[in-house]
Amino acid sequence: MELKEITTPSYVIDEKKLRENLELLSDVQEKSGCRILLAQKAFSAFSEYPLIGRYLAGATASGLYEARLSSEEMGKENHIFSPAYRESEIEEIASICDHVIFNSFSQLAKYADTVKGIQEKRGITDGIGLRINPEFSTQDEPIYDPCAPGSRLGITIENFRKGVKEYSGEFSLVSGLHFHTLCEQGFEPLRKTFDAVEDKFGEYLALPQIKWINMGGGHHITKPDYDREGLIELIQRIKCTYSKPCNGCVNIDVYLEPGEAVALNAGYLVTEVMDIVENDIKILVLDASAACHMPDVLEMPYRPPLRDSGPAGEKKYTYRLSSCTCLAGDVIGDYSFDEEIHVGDRLVFEDMAIYSMVKNNTFNGIGLPSIYAMDESGECRPVKEFGYEDFKMRLS
């Protein structure tokens, strides 16, 4: 079926655009020698994992469930970072994850022996890492800044030095360092951040035991204006500077963990106008909701792109787009159109593959959108539909 024929509300994964993104990322991998992982926190539509796995090295998780999903559905490299791990889950995590990254020396001390023992039985000898905090902010919003004052994410250099001395035995088990400080950013913030990492942690990167560095996510690698050549050069420099010869071969790995770059502009949310009410402005009541189906619209906040529309007042007809929830602030934004909008018309929000399906909810008893995949020819096939039981099962 075509886009205009699917049920609403529905997410639609654009497999052509997804493949194009993956080809760009694969090219960066090949030219730089790095390994790129899907950050599942942004996009975990596992029906597409076979496609993603053809291009990327694997996936990264923020907890056990994501790690299990990657293990079951992609079956490639499987990495995990969490600010803290549950004792009841650490053995399963070690049994399915190739890299387990700790956020503190106390968590390292608590779990490193367990993880090492399980991983060694799987033939993994370099699977334990620590997250560092270079204390170098590149964005203005504290909620998205892991380097903001008081951040719980990553170990500052002052605490790292203390930890190396206090937990010297446990630190000897560490094979990699991880930092993640960016959010939807280009290459220049990464370059400056790595300069800060080198300045503070360079002596530790140079240690013979450090076999890999993970530069996290937030890299807009698949945007047209991203400096991919600069990224490739930086990765090559890192590998040249910090690699340690081992039997004649270079053995340091550089990892990137983009989520948004994998599925950037590779999905839509299709919605139908259910009613039009008027209160100083004409308001479209949609069967899609910002609060339920695209929470980042309210949380970031941001204005989602809408096909064939413009800012308020730019085109002839301006409307406020809202939903059928009871939340007064469940407003997507004000948009203008060349043609008048009517009840029953369909609207297509773009760039809806990322941080939408993974964050949606059933507040107000609002149903979850169906999921479709659109192939290279524009044909849509149903992937999954949701109903009352999906709402009920989240409650008790």
pLDDT per residue as tens digits for the range 137-184? 998 888 899 999 999 999 999 999 999 999 999 999 999 999 999 999
User: Is 328 in contact with 364 (CB distance < 8 Å)?
Assistant: no
Average pLDDT for the chain: 96
User: In the chain, what percentage of residues exceed pLDDT 70?
Assistant: 98
| Domain ranges within the chain, ordered by starting residue | 3-11+267-352+360-392, 33-263
Handedness of CA 156, 158, 162, 168 (dihedral sign): positive
User: Is 290 in contact with 297 (CB distance < 8 Å)?
Assistant: yes
Homologous superfamily (CATH) of 3-11+267-352+360-392 is Lyase, Ornithine Decarboxylase; Chain A, domain 1 (2.40.37.10)
Q: pLDDT tens for residues 78-98?
A: 999 999 999 999 999 999 999
User: Is 260 in contact with 15 (CB distance < 8 Å)?
Assistant: no
Q: What is the pTM of this model?
A: 0.95
- Upstream peptide bond of 301 is cis (omega within 30 degrees of 0): yes
Q: Which pLDDT does position 246 carry in this prediction?
A: 59
CATH number of 33-263: 3.20.20.10
Q: pLDDT tens for residues 38-68?
A: 999 999 999 999 999 999 999 999 999 999 9
Q: Which pLDDT does position 16 carry in this prediction?
A: 98
Q: What are phi and psi of 36, to 5 degrees?
A: -110, 130
User: Is 354 in contact with 21 (CB distance < 8 Å)?
Assistant: no
Q: pLDDT tens for residues 217-270?
A: 999 999 999 999 999 999 999 999 998 765 555 579 999 999 999 999 999 999
Between strands 267-278 and 282-286, the pairing is antiparallel
pLDDT band at 300, cuts 50/70/90?
A: confident
Q: Which pLDDT does position 250 carry in this prediction?
A: 58
Vertex 167 angle, CA 60 and 127, to 5°: 25
Q: Do the domains 3-11+267-352+360-392 and 33-263 sit in the same CATH topology, yes or no?
A: no
